[in-house]
Each structure stands twice: as structure tokens, then as C-alpha cells.
Amino acid sequence: MGAVKTKRMPRAVREQQMLDAAVRTFGQRGYMAASMDEIAELAGVSKPLVYLYLNSKEDLFTACIRREGQALTEAVRAGVDTRSSADRQLWDGLRAFFTHTAQHPDGWSVLHLQARTHGEPFAAEVAALRAELVAFVTELIAVTAREAHRDRDPDLAEREVAGLAEALVGAAESLAAWSNATPGVTARQTAATLMNFAWAGLGNLVEGRPWSPPAGAEYRP
């Protein structure tokens, strides 16, 4: 178990080994339950070396978040051709997303679960990543969605677009976890399910057919 113990590697390589071990350990045990001991052993180095290179548990975890976050956004970016139509971009992006999360479950666990569950230094880190994805989605739906709300308060529309993007990203995140946990579901199928749901819904909005609350539907506390 663990990397083969090879001595005197260049620093960059060693660091990647450590990050590999850390992502795996954090992803499986969780941030707090993961011990530096275990990570060092899995990386095949001594603990002091981990500290020498990565400084502290907090920094190590942050480095994991950054690396995995970048890998994920790059995978999505690489899967999308910005010259395509909006729906094609979304479709390509979702497939790339689900494919990546399926191939890096520990990294996804770090980003989706661990980083968000352990408060401040980390939440900000993921928030930045998430903002990128939300921005991508927002971009795709912004114009059309605003159309559908042309006649309403534009500020509300602003916020509603944000909400829609949030919902879409949230649905994607949730489906990624579900897809990883449900055997026999491919990334492509998952992407299709969400696309179907989302685009059909957005399509309606675009065409000016939003759903509206039934009359007298006030909520009684």
C-alpha cells in the first residue's frame, strides 16, 4: 500500500505524491478524521517532510482543494467549445463535469463535501470555484432568462437568474454524488437527465411561459 518508497525525488514530484495521498485520505476519511500520519505514510515519506513542503494540515488541505478545483474546471473548459450554441455548450459541459467527478471521486468528495463542511479558510476556496461554474451557467442562461422576465422588476430578475444558476449547479452537484453512488449509471446518462430537465425548463422560460403561483396559494404558518 502507498507509493513505493523511492528516495531523493525532485521536490515537485514529491509534492504531487503528497497531494495524491492527501486527496485520497481527506476524501475518504474526511478533513478532521484524516491524520497527517496516515497521509505521510500513504505518500511514502516521513511526516516532517510533509510539513517542510506543505507547511500545515490547513495548507495541505487548501492545496488539495485548489488542485482538484482547477482540474475540475479545466476538464469542463476543455469539454466545451465556446463557439457552439448555448444548449450544446451546456450539454458538453455537463458531460465533462460528470465524467470528471466520476473519475475522481475522492477529489469530488473533497470539493463537494469536505471543503464545505469545515468552515472558513476552505469554504471561501470552494466558493471561488463554484462561482466560476455558476458564472459559466449564468452566462448561458442570462440573456434568455432575462427576456422571460422583461416585464418584471429587473433587480429581481437579476437575483432570479442567480437563483436559477444556483439551482442548476446544485442539481448537478447532487447528481454527481448520486451517480457515483448508484451503480450502472453512466456520466452521459446523468448529463442527459439533467440536461433534459434543465433545458426543457429553461426553454419554457425563454418562450415566455413561466409557471406562476396559483391564486390564493399563500402559505399558512
Interface ranges with DNA (CB under 7 A)? 5, 7-11, 14, 33-37, 45-49, 51-52, 56-58
Q: Which of the listed partners (its own copies, DNA, none) does 143 bind, with a CB threshold of 5 to 8 Å by partner kind?
A: none
Binding site for its own copies (CB under 8 A): 29-30, 32-33, 79, 85, 87-88, 91-92, 95-96, 99, 113-114, 116-119, 156, 159-160, 162-164, 166-175, 178, 182, 184-185, 188-190, 192-205, 209-211, 213-214, 217, 219-221
When the beta carbons of 39 and 205 are compared against DNA, the nearer one is 39
102 within 8 A of 187, measured Cβ to Cβ: yes
User: For 186, which DSSP code?
Assistant: -
CB of 206 to its own copies, least distance (A): 10
CB of 60 to DNA, least distance (A): 8
Q: Which of the listed partners (its own copies, DNA, none) does 205 bind, with a CB threshold of 5 to 8 Å by partner kind?
A: its own copies
Place of cell 448537478: 172
When the beta carbons of 44 and 93 are compared against DNA, the nearer one is 44
**Which set of grid coordinates corresponds to residue 44?**
511514502
Distance of CA 44 to CAs 69, 97, 155, 183, Å? 25, 31, 55, 32
Distance of CA 11 to CAs 15, 18, 29, 39, 84, Å? 6, 10, 26, 17, 41
What lies within 8 Å, CB to CB, of 201 at 6+ separation is: none
Nearest to 165 by CA among 116, 190, 193, 132: 132
Q: Which of the listed partners (DNA, its own copies, none) does 51 bind, with a CB threshold of 5 to 8 Å by partner kind?
A: DNA
